[in-house]
Structure 1
Amino acid sequence: MPKIRVGDLNVNYQIQGTGEPLLLIIGLSFSLLDWGTVLPDLLAQHYKVILFDNRDAGETSRSPHPYTIAQMADDAANLLDVLGESKAHIFGVSMGGMIAQHFALNHANKLDKLILGCTAAGGTCSEFGDVSGLLTGNLLDLLFTPAFIQSHQSDLTTFLQTTSPFHSQGPALQRQFQAMSTHDTCHLLSKITAPTLVITGDRDPVIPPQNSDLLAQKIPGARQVTITNASHGFCFSHPDDTATAVINFLK
């Protein structure tokens, strides 16, 4: 995959499709591969889909210093600049949704529409579940329902074999965790002006659905879609439902 110089980083990225740019921002530790192939392919039938690895993840550079979620949003904005995109739709999931919130607050002039997936405002207004699976490598229980795991064992084995070598580890993972731990938009959500869609799975144990309820309540005019029988990894397990929600919103 190509890499591009963005500030002090070499950013790994991928572009699919044509049309209005849609930047996808992935979550903690993960790389662009963790979107799977189905959802990006579906979205690329309608938009120019830009995927990338955050700093300290995938094949993007390891960060030379600690950073904040707001600085990760700056990375995304700078990537768009380097790619020659003056404005884009933004779809962020989990930590990527936190990055997307700061993008909306700090780079509103570069944002068309905002999509926040399985994410939270942080601070004192959020409730987080158990993310220890990220440290132990037991990712499937975090991302998918027991029924989905049982019926897709072969696909999920292949998925993990493909994606896990690119997950953040050691100091890189610690820096991402530290950045996420300082994220707090509880009192800033009313300042988000972009049209916003909030998506969650109804059985998410990592960032429970009530966090999405709060985002939808606090962001002016936000719409909300809840995907049934879906967990934190709904983009992979329910790509058709996710694509339909995103495309209908962006029309």
Structure 2
Amino acid sequence: MEIRVEDQDEDGAPIELAEPETLSDRLLEMAGATVLSLYRRPALATAISTGVGWGIRYEQLWRRALGGRRRRPHINWHEGGRGPALVLINGFTGSGIGWPTVWVSELEKHFRVIRVDNRGTGWSRRAPMPFTISDMADDIADVLTACGLETATVFGQSMGGMIAQEFAMRHPHRVDRLVLCATIPPVPAFTANPHGVSLAAGIAFPSGRDIRRPTKQQLTDFLDALHKFTAAGYEPPDNRLEEFAAQNLVRGTSRYGAFCQGRAINAWRDPSRLRHIYTPTVIVQGAADRVVVPANGHSLAELIPGAEYVEVPGVGHLIPWEATQVLTDLLMKDREHPTTSNPHQPKENDHG
């Protein structure tokens, strides 16, 4: 599957993109376009991704050699509620506290909700770095084990959706259902958007300092960045975006943590592996997503056997904030009418 760089939706209508507003925004946009132009050719994209992956592994070995014995990853999580287990995995630089409180409270009435701090974020900032998407997928398995759980429904937002896919491939018997939200398939199958690079850089907290009482200006600056992730013209019904901004500032992700997550994303490759996901899967995509264009959701639906595709009109990248009820209804539908098997899964005696 050839990688594409798009600024149009599936019907050919242009996706409304905000123009870069500062010199740094423009430079990031240019850098993003330059890098992503290298990914236009699948063979070159795979080679770059492979090189990034080898670089991560080499640095891991080097750090272990200098540091003596291998340090066990320290991964933090937050949990609450009762019922079937539901794991929430956040996106780039997002931690386990960075979810809409109103949504988490509703989910905890029906599920045992486990919100993981990905490596480099929240209270997992001391976890070993660098790392890969596979490492973070194995972290989810470790968290489930620590919680005394064999299986869970796994929900992944953006980068968290990549981790969720990898988790389903590496630990297939530990996933009840898979919900992939505003995310992409591995290199080279994703559809790139140069504008997304500058947007992602805008939310990467630059210093990693914790600001327990953000100033009005700090909140305003972060809010401006967050609004670029939502559909054009989106007006939240309450203070959920202000809350999200404060959550990110209270426990910031360092530049190096964000850099390591970026490396992990770029090293994640081989979409052919997705054909081995037989977990019941739902792909949720915002039709007006300015970061992950809808073509990515369509690609995932083609790559994962039997996956259901749900596109939400008028919604951007922050689906848990912009379309909270849609996700709640979807998760509750799965809880009340669980799908126990995928009709596309091979039978035990099927050797073909």
Match of 1:146 among 232, 246, 251: 232
Residue 211 of structure 1 corresponds to which residue in structure 2? 296
Residue 135 of structure 1 corresponds to which residue in structure 2? 201
Answer whether contact 2:99 2:244 (CA < 8 A) is retained.
no
Answer whether contact 1:131 1:142 (CA < 8 A) is retained.
no
Q: CA deviation at 1:17?
A: 1.5
Q: CA deviation at 1:25?
A: 0.6
Answer whether contact 1:225 1:245 (CA < 8 A) is retained.
no
Cα deviation, 1:93-152, whole Å, max 9, x if unaligned, reads 111000001100000121111111111112111113223133234532342123224x55
Residue 249 of structure 1 corresponds to which residue in structure 2? 334
Answer whether contact 2:231 2:290 (CA < 8 A) is retained.
no
Residue 265 of structure 2 corresponds to which residue in structure 1? 180
TM superposition score normalised by structure 1: 0.90
Identity of aligned residues (%): 30
User: Where does 1:1-251 land on structure 2 (aligned, <5 Å)?
Assistant: 8-129=72-193, 130-137=196-203, 139-149=225-235, 155-250=240-335, 251=337
Q: CA deviation at 1:22?
A: 0.8
Question: Partner amino acid for 2:83?
Answer: G
* Farther-moved stretch of structure 1 (60-69 vs 105-114): 60-69
Answer whether contact 2:231 2:315 (CA < 8 A) is retained.
yes
More strand by share: 1
Ranges in structure 2 where 5+ consecutive residues have no aligned partner: 1-70, 204-223, 338-352
TM superposition score normalised by structure 2: 0.65
Alpha-carbon distance between aligned partners in 2 of 1:142 and 1:185, rounded to the nearest angstrom: 30
Answer whether contact 2:89 2:116 (CA < 8 A) is retained.
yes
Q: CA deviation at 1:155?
A: 4.5
* Farther-moved stretch of structure 1 (8-17 vs 208-217): 8-17
Residue 3 of structure 1 corresponds to which residue in structure 2? none
The alignment yields a C-alpha RMSD, in angstroms, of 1.9
Change beyond 3 A, Cα 1:78–1:216: same
Cα deviation, 1:137-184, whole Å, max 9, x if unaligned, reads 4532342123224x5585533431232332422111111110011112
Question: Partner amino acid for 1:146?
Answer: A
Q: CA deviation at 1:27?
A: 0.8
Q: CA deviation at 1:247?
A: 1.9
Question: Secondary structure at the residue paired with 2:284?
Answer: strand
Change beyond 3 A, Cα 1:81–1:153: closer
Answer whether contact 1:39 1:242 (CA < 8 A) is retained.
no
Structure 1: which 4+ aligned runs deviate by more than 2 Å?
A: 7-12, 61-65, 133-139, 151-159, 161-167
Question: Partner amino acid for 2:304?
Answer: I
* Farther-moved stretch of structure 1 (175-184 vs 131-140): 131-140
Flag the structure with larger Rg.
2
Question: Secondary structure at the residue paired with 2:283?
Answer: strand
Ranges in structure 1 where 5+ consecutive residues have no aligned partner: 1-6
Answer whether contact 1:142 1:232 (CA < 8 A) is retained.
no
Cα deviation, 1:43-70, whole Å, max 9, x if unaligned, reads 2222111112101011213333321101
